[in-house]
Structure 1
Amino acid sequence: MRIIQMIDSLEAGGAERMAVNYANALVNEIEFSGLVTTRKEGSLRDKIDANVSYLFLNKKRQLDFGALFRLRSFVLKNKVTHIHAHSTSFFLAFLLKLIHPSLRIIRHDHYGNNEFLLARPYFVLKQTAPFFNGIIVVNQKLKNWSELKLKAKNIIYLPNFSVKEKSKRADKILKGCEGKRIVCLANLRPQKNHFLLLEVAKKLKKTYSDWTFHLVGKDFEDDYAMQIKKLILEYELEENVFLYGSRPDVENILNLTSIAILTSQSEGLPVSLLEYGMYKKPIVVTRVGEIPTIVQHEENGFVVDSNEPDLFYKYLVKLITTEKIRFDFGQALYNTVQSDYTDKSVISKYLNWLQKS
């Protein structure tokens, strides 16, 4: 098989990380592994394996025929058999299928707003569904939704996976006291519910003011981001909550922190959670998406509802005050990720599925 991954950008988001992870993992498994970015490059560009064939289309609009034919040339030149289209890049794959019918195309659905699936627009997805040879989903809710709404048949649930790698640079020194840092890897999007994090930070400031929160994720400079910054000032958390934007050096960030959290009100299967496990971080997370299938409460982490700031605070304090729990949870989460969420286990299922699709 000769497969290219396609994604709209290489900014540090979950779907983008998975596109890079798949391309890198396939290098030694198939004849040809490529990666195509349609609209925008980003910090993950440096994470692409040197043996992955890479193309940036610089697509300017939804119907950009120049980009479409550049993609077609790349596909023909490299004798590509499959396009694995992540998230919204599926539409370009669909257009290419119209002019290159022998190409097999796969849509990878990373939709993270799973608590609100009923409101998800699906007209375009349904109209293009017959042209796809299969759909990959990142949780069971999406699988059920695709079967019901799209009437799609060849659907497989494949969990996201994490790859531990050495950062190419480790230049960010975090603020706060060593050994007393709490990290949240999440782009500044409403579904990530940073407002819950700020409520917890406000409570923690009164009891453990030397512990600090470190928010790593893309700042879209929109109303949501502005509200976060406004609340940091309003709650007087300027010395307790720090924003870093998108960072390429995840290993460096996680090595400098002691506890990891996610406060999401909706998720698919967050790659950041798998990264927490890879680096043995003790966690407090919310009970959304596929998170409860990975995190067993009080076995490898603490899990709370997304509207429970008091309970979230309570469990965070347990981690702060009990070093043994931090160690045990970190090791247990690492074991879970190593057992079921590594590239080897997922890629094996992926290739077997593709051969039958």
Structure 2
Amino acid sequence: MRIIQIIDSLDAGGAERMAVGYANALANEIKFSALVATRKEGNLRNQINKNVPYLFLNKKRAIDFSALLKLRNYVRKNKIEIVHAHGTSFFTAFLLKLIYPTIKLIWHDHYGARVKQSKTNNLILVMASLSFSAIFVVNPKMKKWAERNLFTKKVVFIPNFAEVPHLNSRQTVLRGQLGKRLVCVANLKKPKNHIALLCAFNELQLYKLGWSMHFIGKDFHDGYSSALKDYINSNELHDSVFIYDAQNDIQHILSQATIGILASTDEGFPVALLEYGLAKLAVLSTNVGYCSTLISHNFSGLLFHPHDKEELKEQLHILTSNAEIRLQIGLNLHQKVMKTYSKEKIIQLLLQEYKSIKS
């Protein structure tokens, strides 16, 4: 098989990490596995394996004929059979299908909040779905939404996976006390709900007990980011809450942490939770999207409703005050991730779906 993964940017988001992960993993399984970034490069550029061909289109507008022709020529030259488009890159792939109809087109939806939207919110997607050979989704609720709202007949749930990257640098050093670090790996944007974590951390006065909070994720330097920084400043949390922007050495960062947290109000299948599991961190997670399936409450983590501030504070207090619970749930999640969400298992599932689509 000859397949390309398409993604709009290489910033360190969940969809972007999965696109890179698939391209890397498939390089050892099929004849040709490449990655195409349409609009923007980013931190993940350095995590593309050397044996994975890479193309950057430098697309400037929604319909960029120069970029589209560049992509068509690349697909034709390399005899691509399947185009696997992640997230918003479906539009570029749809245009490609119009001018190069022999390809099979797969759209991979990673956006958990879509289940709250209607067809009206997704008119271009609805139209483009006529050209999809299949849709992959990252949780069962998204599967039901796609089956109900889009024209594509084949909709498949493909779980995410996580692995320690080949490039595992050790550049980021977390501040704060060893054994008392809370980490949240999520870009600074809606619906990641960082402010809820800040409020809970502050109101529990965890800083007085030596705990520190560490936000790892792209800082867009916008209103969302400013609100977080204003809260940190107004509550004098400079010595206990730290913002690091996007980083490449996630597993090294997590090796320095104690508790991994995710507070999103909407999620698909967060890669961060898998990464926390790989690192054997105790996890406190929102219960939205696939989170409550991945995390078994009181066994492989603690769950809370993202809009319930008191529940968040209660679960955070439990984790920060009980080292035995932290150790046990961290080990339980690690075992589940290794057994159920390994790269090898998910890639074999992916290959089966590719073969059925190609035939």
- Give the AA of the match of 2:341: Y
Question: 2:345 aligned with 1:345, yes or no?
Answer: yes
Matched with 1:333 is 333
Matched-pair identity in %: 44
The answer to whether the 8 Å contact 1:14/1:271 transfers is yes
Matched with 2:239 is 239
Q: Secondary structure at the match of 2:111?
A: coil
Q: Secondary structure at the match of 2:54?
A: strand
Distance 1:115 1:197 in 2: 24
Matched with 2:276 is 276
Q: Deviation string for 1:50-109 (max 9, x for gaps)?
A: 111111111111111111111111111111111100011111111111111111110001
Moved more, 174-183 or 234-243: 234-243
Question: 2:16 aligned with 1:16, yes or no?
Answer: yes
Q: Secondary structure at the match of 1:130?
A: helix
Report the Cα offset of residue 264 of structure 1.
Answer: 0.9
Distance 2:62 2:313 in 1: 44
Matched with 2:128 is 128
Q: 1:227 to 1:262 in 2, by over 3 A?
A: same
Distance 1:65 1:301 in 2: 48
- Give the AA of the match of 1:65: F
Q: 1:120 to 1:312 in 2, by over 3 A?
A: farther
Distance 1:307 1:91 in 2: 33
Q: 1:355 to 1:151 in 2, by over 3 A?
A: same
Question: 2:147 aligned with 1:153, yes or no?
Answer: no
Report the Cα offset of residue 282 of structure 1.
Answer: 0.3
- Give the AA of the match of 2:224: Y
Structure 1: any 5+ residue segments left out of the alignment?
A: none
Q: 1:204 to 1:268 in 2, by over 3 A?
A: same
Distance 1:169 1:320 in 2: 28
Matched with 1:310 is 310
Structure 2: any 5+ residue segments left out of the alignment?
A: none
- Give the AA of the match of 1:211: W
Q: Secondary structure at the match of 1:122?
A: helix
Q: Deviation string for 1:283-316 (max 9, x for gaps)?
A: 1111100000110100010001112222222222
Q: Deviation string for 1:98-123 (max 9, x for gaps)?
A: 11111111000111325633487110
TM-score by length of 1: 0.97
Matched with 1:178 is 178
Q: How does 1:1-357 map to 2 (within 5 A)?
A: 1-114=1-114, 116-118=116-118, 121-205=121-205, 208-357=208-357
Q: Deviation string for 1:161-184 (max 9, x for gaps)?
A: 101235442111111111111000
Q: 1:194 to 1:156 in 2, by over 3 A?
A: same
Q: Secondary structure at the match of 1:245?
A: coil
- Give the AA of the match of 1:5: Q
Q: Secondary structure at the match of 2:173?
A: coil
Moved over 6 A (4+): none
TM-score by length of 2: 0.96
Report the Cα offset of residue 40 of structure 1.
Answer: 0.8
The answer to whether the 8 Å contact 2:133/2:152 transfers is no
